[in-house]
Amino acid sequence: MTDTLTASSLGSFARGRRVLVTSALPYANGHIHLGHLVEYIQTDIWVRFQRMRGARVLYVCADDTHGTSIMIRARQEGRSEQELIAAMSAAHQRDFTGFQIAFDHYGSTNSERNREYCAQIWGALRSADFVVEREVTQLFDPTAGVFLADRFVKGRCPRCDTPDQYGDSCDHCGSTYSPTELKDPVSTLSGARPELKSAHHLFVKIEKLRGFLTEWTQEPGRLQPEIANYLKGHFLADELRDWDVSRPAPYFGFEIPDSPGNYWYVWFDAPIGYLAATSEWCDANGEAFDAWWRSTDTEIYHFIGKDIVYFHTLFWPAMLHVAGFPLPKRVQAHGFLTVNGEKMSKSKGTFVLASTYLEHLDPAHLRYFYASKLGPKVDDLDLNLEELAVKVNADLVGKVVNLASRTARFVKESGLSQEYPEDGGLFREAAASGIAIAEAYEACDFARAMRLIMGLADRANEYIDREEPWKLKKQPSSAAALRDVCTVALNLYWQLVTYLAPVLPKLAEQSEKLLGGSLASFAAAEQPLLGTPVAEFEHLMQRVDSKKVEAVMAATRDAATDAAASAVGVSAPSPTSAPVLNQPFEDDGEALAGEPLAPECSFDDFAKIDLRVARVLTAVVIPEANKLLRLTVSLGGEATREIIAGIKSAYAPEALVGRLVVVVANLAPRKMKFGVSQGMVIAAGPGAAEIYILAPDSGAKPGQRVH
């Protein structure tokens, strides 16, 4: 009956194909959350799919462990970096396992093997004359004890003398310069006067490879078209700047062997972690590294987020190319996750950690939901929790699992028929659909694959309804017919579970127990199961309970609150404290953590800043700008100022006119694209819709100073 398809054609389509797959390395500075999981679930599904088609797949990942923030966090927590990253790696791996993400090997960038590969690639860059060493005289903040990047230094423009300019270029005259040329430089970190300090810096002259990279990135199928386009128009159109790959001590990372006191920048050693992880796996499994990474027979795939595209499409291929490694066949980027249409937020309970989710909900639900949403494009993906419940309940429970649920019990005694019954071509058609489904998986168009599968599920349910097995059951004379109908239904179910197995490995496993076959290969969808026993039916999947969804969000909010409490050292309230808050606040530590306190300043320092109450007289949008409003404010009497403020996204002009605000009145005028701004309106918030202007209580008058 399935003779139109050669047996196991789907399952062996990729036999002999050797595929090396990576997900981006999660940073050891934080726990895995639902946003990370988009990538790992996407990759894991793709890997499982490739295996089911007969490819030999190696899936590796590792923790990304280096950098300043790890160093500082370890200090704050009073433990070594090694302790910190070991604990975080264990937590990461626990979370991944919980979501059935199955790496072949999970390494760390802080491994000896990684250091070796870093040295190897570094050596190749050196000998191919890609490294420029420059004795750079850099500004150093003696208070904070760190070298200052350009934008952490301000001063007067060396060309036109305009004050308050950043270390790289002047907004007034447009000239560019080195921060050391700034007059009267100030560190924006501590306010200290930076010292000149000589530092050895190492750069990779990536411009030498612009032709090669252009060709490589524009190769069809290499990158998603929108990304190839973007690179072509933005980076590759101009001369590529030398890439600064070193950081001076102190830095948690690998010291550069031929440049003592300098460390490889975290983004240098992070992708090399792919090599190290592969190598470690090879050692542990008696495989030859060269067969995986040095062989042109191996197809290398990187799954990444859109934020790190240029590391993986410019620097990384450049490094591999120079060091003589084959390059990735494809770099697949995905968008960011939003929850209920917004950025994830701890206070709203949508910044959900993987571990929190797992305490309440089934990982399979998230895997299916992501699969149903993930296409080949770089679009952001929205996790609407209501939609998740509806989709999972309707598709997986109502359609797919229901097929087994409504027929398996009827054949518990008899098992499946010996011969495949007439089914009107349903099985054959579903087997043939495997090609389109496989193509969709291959192209990372999981949403399409899910749609195709659900279409098949609809047809199977219609079949059961037509055949009415429950009626056959009531007539002992129809026993054979009953068994035939259930055989068809369960085989159609079997096909669906085959196709869904990359997404729902646990369901596949349970189904193997129920029906006794093997779902290791897509070939399972081509040959019906016949004459086999059927096990006692057990529920294969629970519905999504919206109470549990709410519990996840509540737990997320609670965790944020607890973190805030411990962050500010709140202990039990003192019995003598007078006014008691009878209403609990849910102020989390998100904001403070995101922007730590600035170094202490003296009263004199503070007094330099002249804050004044002002009244907004006029406010108009600047149409050409995306974020700016042009305000006229009064400081009382005739004194007015024009201020350009980046608050358009949060305030309509008419909502501002007439109200009192606080302005920095003695801020040096700043020439901007749309005019000169004579001051600054004080506001809080992360930006976009969340900008909150400070207002004095009623009674304050324009012109009054804020002390």
| Binding interface with RNA (CB under 7 A) | 164, 171, 225-226, 229-230, 233-234, 335, 375, 377, 379-380, 387, 390, 393-395, 397-399, 401-402, 405-407, 409-410, 447-448, 451, 454-455, 458, 461-462, 464-465, 468-471, 473, 539-543, 623-628, 644-646, 667, 670, 672-674, 677, 680-681, 687
Q: How far is the CB of 541 from RNA (least distance, A)?
A: 4
Are the C-beta atoms of residues 633 and 677 closer than 8 Å to each other? no
**Between 55 and 227, whose beta carbon lies closer to RNA?**
227
To RNA, the closest distance from the beta carbon of 178 in angstroms equals 18
To RNA, the closest distance from the beta carbon of 257 in angstroms equals 34
- Closest contact distance (angstroms) between CB of 484 and RNA is 15
Shortest Cβ 137–RNA spacing (Å): 25
HSE of 551 in the Cβ direction (CA atoms, 13 Å)? Answer: 11
Residue 599 DSSP SS3? coil
The 8-class DSSP code of residue 576 comes to T
Q: Which is nearer to RNA, 409 or 548 (CB)?
A: 409
Six-digit token pair at 448? 């399409």
CA quadruple 505, 510, 513, 518: dihedral, nearest 10: -20
Which distant-in-sequence residues (6+ apart) come within 8 Å of 327 by Cβ? 216, 300, 317, 320, 321
For RNA, the closer of residues 123 and 335 by Cβ is 335
CB 151 within 8 A of CB 168: yes
State the minimum distance, in angstroms, from the CB of residue 130 to RNA.
Answer: 26
CB of 402 to RNA, least distance (A): 4
**Residue 686's CB: how many other CB atoms inside 10 A?**
13
Choose between 320 and 482: whose C-beta lies nearer to RNA: 482
Least distance (Å) from RNA to the CB of residue 397? 5
- In the bound state with RNA, the residue whose beta carbon lies nearer, of 83 and 462, is 462
335/703 with CB nearer RNA? 335
Which residue's CB is nearer to RNA, number 470 or number 606? 470
Q: How far apart are CA 136 and CA 178, in angstroms?
A: 10
665-679 residues labelled b (16+ CB within 10 A) or e (exposed): bebeebeeeeeebbb
Q: How far apart are CA 392 and CA 483, in angstroms?
A: 29
Rank residues 70 and 508 by Cβ distance to RNA and give the closer one: 508
Nearest of 196, 200, 209, 198 to residue 242 by alpha carbon: 209
**Residue (272 or 645) nearer to RNA, CB:** 645
Least distance CB 667 / RNA (angstroms): 7
Angle, CA of 581, 582 and 585, to the nearest 5°: 65
Cα distances from 621 to residues 370, 643, 674, in angstroms, run 39, 12, 11
CB of residue 540 to RNA, shortest distance in Å: 4
Whole-number minimum distance, CB 506 to RNA, in Å? 12
Query: What is the total residue count of the chain?
Result: 707
CB-nearer residue toward RNA: 232 or 294: 232
Of the candidates 449, 426, 635, the residue with the CA atom closest to the CA atom of residue 528: 426
Partnered with residue 629 across adjacent β-strands are 621, 645
Q: Toward RNA, which CB reaches closer, 358 or 672? A: 672
The Cα–Cα gap between 684 and 690 comes to: 8
Which residues, 6+ apart, have CB-to-CB distance to 644 below 8 Å? Answer: 622, 628, 629, 630, 631, 672, 674, 675, 676, 677
Q: Letter for the amino acid at 26?
A: P
- Number of CB atoms found within 10 A of residue 120's CB: 15
Q: Which is nearer to RNA, 375 or 589 (CB)?
A: 375
Angle between helices 505-515 and 479-500 (to 10 degrees): 150
Least Å distance, CB 394 to RNA, is 4
